[in-house]
Amino acid sequence: MSASEVAGLLSAEEVTLSHIRRAVHHLPKSCRAVLYDEAHHLHPSAVGEFFEALSYELLLSASESSPSVVSIAAKLADAEYIPYDKYSPDGLWYSRDGGIRFKVKGRVAAEMDLLIKTSDGVRIFGEVISGSAGTKGFLSEIAAKKALLSEIYGDPVEFLLVLPYEPHSGLRCVGENDAFAVIPDGDTLYRNVPKSEVMMRKLSPAKSTKRVDGRVW
């Protein structure tokens, strides 16, 4: 299974109110408040965090019907934080907020938004972008992350870009086996759920047979 096929799965998944509620649930309560305050100077950042969480939730549900997707690394509120052990080998360690980080020789070498493994041994990492993203250094950053994953796991690596709009020319310049998925206006869908429904509510993780601890992804 290729990145383009995963992109097709993700793009075809219908966004439900449940997806949106779970995405907001992944955000800290302070970030949820900022998400619903569009005049706040940190609102764009909160929108980006929401869209990243929404992309993750959609990916989990879309993958349930696909035997070609073997696993998806847990993240955000689904991730289990374990303090870093300096004697451990290079690899994935979650940040306190459930972010996916790869450490090499004790230092953070890369952060990634999505990790997918397919039945034919391809590892796909995803970057989720909202707002007006620049392209300076974009290709070199993606190439470095590909090389890191290939070195750690020894498997073929492809890249998936997730956006709420059709990518402009600079962001289209990804590798031959890479792909992009569009969730139309996905960064605004929090508006479909009232703030009162999600500010204090706590939700259990969505049922998933594909979600795994990132350390065994």
Q: What is the pLDDT of residues 103-126, one digit of tens each?
A: 998 899 999 999 999 999 999 999
| 160: Cβ contacts below 8 Å, ≥ 6 apart | 3, 6, 7, 10, 114, 116, 124, 125, 126, 127, 178, 179, 180, 181
Report pLDDT for 63.
96
Q: What is the pLDDT of residues 146-155, one digit of tens each?
A: 999 999 999 9
The domain spans of the chain are 3-84+112-216
| Residue reference for tokens 């962001």 | 171
| Least confident residue range of 55-59, 128-132, 192-196 | 128-132
| Residue reference for tokens 């974009």 | 138
